[in-house]
Chains A and B, each alone.
Chain A
C-alpha cells in the first residue's frame, strides 16, 4: 500500500524558516516525481512545486508565489522528500500536502494519484 506521511508543520514567526518532510512507503520512490500542494484555511488547492526523479536529474519547478523562498529536495535512499521554506510570510499559512506524481517519468500527463494527510504550517507573530 502506497503511503505518504508529512511531518514538520508548526507555528512559526514571519521571516523564519521551516522544513517539512514527506516520508513514503509502498512505492519505488526513486521512480516518481513528488509534488507539494498547499491549501490555506477555507481556500482552494495551490501547487507549490515538485521534484523530478533521479532519471530526470532531480530537477525542480516552483509556483510563482514561493519561487526563490522554497526548495524541494529528495533522499532516494530514505524514500523521503523535503520542502525547505525560508522567509515565511503569513500568507504561507496552509495545510501542506505531499503527493506522488504518476505515471513513472510523467510529463504533461502527470497527475497526483496519492496524497498524504497533510501538515499544518501556521505563520504568525
Chain B
C-alpha cells in the first residue's frame, strides 16, 4: 500500500516561513491535498490538487509537488497557524493520509 511520510514536528518563528513536507514514491504524479487541524477542531482543507487554495484560505498558504516530495509552505506564520497538518493522496481507489506534522509557532 502507498505510504506518505511526514516529520512529526516543525517549528517556526512568528512571522517567518514554515515548510512542511510530505514524502511518497513518485508523489509528483499524484494530486496532493493538505488539511489543517487546530487543537480540538475539525480538519480543514487548506490546499488541494497540489497548489490550489479553497476560498477563505489565506494566500500565505501555498503548495508545491514534484518527484518524491510535496511541500506545504506557510508564509508570515501566525500564532493561529499552530496546528497539525496532514497531506493526503488517492492511490489505487483508496485515500491515504500522512501521519501528520505538528507545527509550533515560537
Q: B105 interface residue, CB < 8 Å from A?
A: no
Cβ contact within 8 Å between B97 and A113: no
Residue of B with least CB distance to A64:
B1
- Which residues of the other chain, A, contact B84 by a CB distance below 8 angstroms? 44
Interface residue ranges, A against B (CB under 8 Å): 35, 37, 44-47, 50, 61-64, 97, 107-113, 115-118
Bound CA–CA A115/B54 (angstroms): 14
Bound CA–CA A113/B52 (angstroms): 12
A47 with B96, Cβ < 8 A, contacts A111-B33, A111-B48 known: yes
CB distance from B15 to the nearest CB of A (A): 28
Contact check: which of A63, A64, A110, A115 meets B43 at CB < 8 Å? A115
CB distance from A68 to the nearest CB of B (A): 14
Contact check: which of A37, A47, A111 meets B94 at CB < 8 Å? A47
Cβ contact within 8 Å between A44 and B42: no
Residue of A with least CB distance to B1:
A64
Cβ contact within 8 Å between B96 and A45: no
Contact check: which of A64, A109, A112 meets B45 at CB < 8 Å? A112
A111 with B30, Cβ < 8 A, contacts A47-B97, A50-B95, A63-B94 known: no
Bound CA–CA A50/B90 (angstroms): 12
Cβ contact within 8 Å between B31 and A45: no
- Which residues of the other chain, B, contact A37 by a CB distance below 8 angstroms? 43, 97
Cβ contact within 8 Å between A44 and B99: yes
Residue of A with least CB distance to B98:
A44
CB distance from A52 to the nearest CB of B (A): 10
A116 with B35, Cβ < 8 A, contacts A45-B100, A111-B49 known: no
